[in-house]
Homo-oligomer: A and B are copies of this chain.
Amino acid sequence: MADTLISVDLSESPHTNENIHNRWHPDIPINVWVEPGDDFKIETYDWTGGQIKNNDDASDVRDVELEQVHYLSGPIGVKGAEPGDLLVVEILDIGAKEDMLWGFNGFFSKQNGGGFLTEHFPEAQKSIWDIDGMFTKSRHVPGVKYAGLIHPGLIGCLPDRKMLDMWNTRETELFNTDPNRTPPLAALPNTQSAHMGAMKGEERDAAAAEAARTVPPREHGGNCDIKDLSRGSKIYFPVYVDGAGLSMGDLHFSQGDGEITFCGAIEMAGWLHLKVSLIKEGVSKYGVKNPIFKPSPITPSYNDYLIFEGISVDEQGEQHYLDVHIAYRQACLNAIEYLKKFGYSGAQAYAILGTAPVQGHISGVVDIPNACATLWLPNDIFEWDMMPNADGPTKYLDGSIDVPLAPDL
């Protein structure tokens, strides 16, 4: 039976736990060590560290303190790992904490960063999703049930000093092109609520002031939010520091490609059962810059989709040049309009696209000036028939249930 190397107590603040951190910095101490070939378990908080509650009031999503995210468990040292190696991580299993068999999905207020469709859903909303074994459903979004494709939204190894400096330099440069923008162009280092693991005192304060935020995905992986990095997958991470320093968190029970709702997927606390090994000098042997991975042989076999297209012409009719971001937004909006015809509110439809195992494909990126993106909606998640037919759509919902909203203050 695999040992649990890092435990979390959901009734305690993550800041009381030295094996948790919420920033990336090469000097965060590795307290937990394993050997190549070992398998072990790691527990994690949800990404907000418990700020969101299982109730019907979205004010916690509205008022969330984003400087706290993401609470990661680690870093875990792997003996013998050196810079330039590939750390091979097998996700043998993942699950929810027995004392938190639910997850949340939310839209942030535009004032707090919003989401992919923030112009259309500018205020905070929240849905709660119950975890029933392999499945989830929500009292706020009737008529859908998904098999979970559970995955860590965030996983990767500690950066070295050089990489940290590069991150800070390039993100600061971007930020400075429009420093007063809301939301900002980048989440720069910020000591507020920084949790530097076991670091203490002045060393901790100095590191916190320059430590990278966990928000974006970067070369080491990090917050990639790849829904297919699920249990059974095998990931090859570049190693930058001795011992590798693997950390992870932000577990998702299920998510659509793009994690468009931002807050986020179906967010949960939980545990991972991992096995690690090394490919010495694997970075140069295989020419690896970002992590590569092999997906799981065990995945939901949804293969009956309804596919929506979007092109890079925006909501105002303006033409953009090969912009996949805008094209995917249009595909999402097209899917939402479609779902509304069956009785879903826009917010419910948005929540479905954010939480279901929706695929987002980059279908065409060379046919000037329009990129084409497609959104693949699995039919089998619905308890109703949602395909088009000559009679037109059936309104299955009467509008009496919706996703709770907390107006901006």
Contact = CB atoms under 8 A, between A and B. Distances in A.
Interface string A286-304: 1111111111111111111
Given A285-B393, A362-B361, A324 B324 contact: yes
A390 interface: yes
A1 B292 contact: no
23 contacts: A88-B388, A92-B132, A147-B298, A170-B313, A171-B369, A174-B319, A174-B321, A174-B369, A185-B369, A219-B311, A224-B372, A225-B364, A226-B309, A226-B363, A261-B366, A282-B392, A286-B338, A288-B338, A294-B304, A294-B306, A297-B301, A298-B299, A325-B371
A293 to B, nearest CB: 5
B285 A392 contact: yes
A287 B367 contact: no
Contacts of A300: 297-298
Contacts of A390: 277-280
Interface residues of A, number: 127
Given A115-B366, A185-B369, A289-B330, 19 more contacts: A39-B133, A88-B388, A116-B366, A185-B321, A185-B368, A215-B367, A216-B370, A217-B367, A218-B370, A225-B372, A226-B309, A226-B374, A258-B363, A258-B365, A285-B341, A286-B392, A292-B307, A325-B365, A328-B365
A99 interface: yes
A223 interface: yes
A199 interface: no
Contacts of A61: none
A385 interface: yes
B311 A293 contact: no
* Residue of A98, A133, A308 contacting most chain B CB atoms (<10 Å): A133
Interface in A371-409: 371-374, 380, 385, 387-390, 392-393
A140 interface: no
A217 B311 contact: yes
A236 B289 CA distance: 41
A80 interface: no
Given A280-B390, A307-B292, A260 B340 contact: no
Interface in A206-230: 215-219, 221, 223-228
